[in-house]
């Protein structure tokens, strides 16, 4: 599988439409991205943010989540799609009571990985199995543990993101408490790269 698809790539149309939830936004008249970057590593995300900024392009972020409005694959200005679906590793540490999840992983995959490590631990996450975690940690995650543990965003202790000012990879310590709090509360699927 390639990392970059352009309209000249033979599989471009197939990759573009593969995750489209609303076919109304996939017509011939719908503006198409200049490229689709299927990130395989966080450095691909970083390079996409830096390159798009240098060329004045908008970035639309796509995973396999709730994008019924087509926000992750449509724009009125020149844009690229940053596809996060390949970034789906999940590291469960039962001893510390922590889980590190990449943004392309689904809630179903997360529940499965936690279940493989423990029969008594759970995760405050969503209840829809294909809700991607880039959305879940961004302010929602209304699931079966809501009453006891709150939303997923209430339980996020750290995250890695790419600063769209200079392309630096940041975590909760380097972004500061206020910005980290704001990121935890804002859904990001289809929105601008962080």
- 68-103 confidence digits (pLDDT tens): 777 788 888 999 999 988 988 888 888 887 788 888
Query: If pLDDT is split at 50, 70 and 90, which confidence band does 184 have?
Result: low
CA-to-CA distance for 11 and 125, rounded, in angstroms? Answer: 34
Domains located in the chain, CATH noted:
4-83 (3.30.43.10), 90-185 (3.30.465.10)
The confidence score (pLDDT) of residue 181 equals: 65
Mean pLDDT of all residues belonging to the chain = 76
CA-to-CA distance for 151 and 45, rounded, in angstroms? Answer: 26
By percentage, how much of the chain surpasses pLDDT 90?
23
Question: 153 pLDDT exceeds 90?
Answer: no
Q: Which of 27-31, 109-113, 139-143, 174-178 has the lowest mean pLDDT?
A: 139-143
Handedness of CA 7, 76, 53, 71 (dihedral sign): negative
148 against 54, higher pLDDT: 54
Count of C-beta atoms within a 10 Å radius of residue 63: 29
Structure tokens at 79: 């844009």
pTM for the predicted model, two decimal places: 0.76
- 7-17 confidence digits (pLDDT tens): 999 999 888 88
**Angle CA 44–9–76, to nearest 5:** 70
The confidence score (pLDDT) of residue 10 equals: 93
CA-to-CA distance for 100 and 58, rounded, in angstroms? Answer: 28
Query: If pLDDT is split at 50, 70 and 90, which confidence band does 6 have?
Result: very high
């Amino acid at each position: 599988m390639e990392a970059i698809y352009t309209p000249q790539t033979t599989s471009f149309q197939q990759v573009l439409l593969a995750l489209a939830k609303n076919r109304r936004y996939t017509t011939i008249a719908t503006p198409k991205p200049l490229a689709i970057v299927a990130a395989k590593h966080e450095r691909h995300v970083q390079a996409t943010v830096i390159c798009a900024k240098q060329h004045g392009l908008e970035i639309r972020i796509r995973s396999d989540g709730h994008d019924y409005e087509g926000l992750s694959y449509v724009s009125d200005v020149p844009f690229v799609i940053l596809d996060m679906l390949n970034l789906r590793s999940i590291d469960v540490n039962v001893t510390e009571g922590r889980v590190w999840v990449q943004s392309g992983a689904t809630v179903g995959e997360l529940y499965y990985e936690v279940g493989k490590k423990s029969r008594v631990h759970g995760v405050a996450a969503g209840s829809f199995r294909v809700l991607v975690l880039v959305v879940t940690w961004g302010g929602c995650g209304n699931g079966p543990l809501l009453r006891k543990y709150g939303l997923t965003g209430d339980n996020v202790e750290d995250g890695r993101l790419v600063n769209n000012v200079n392309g630096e990879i940041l975590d909760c310590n380097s972004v500061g408490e206020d910005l980290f709090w704001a990121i935890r509360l804002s859904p990001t699927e289809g929105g601008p790269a962080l």
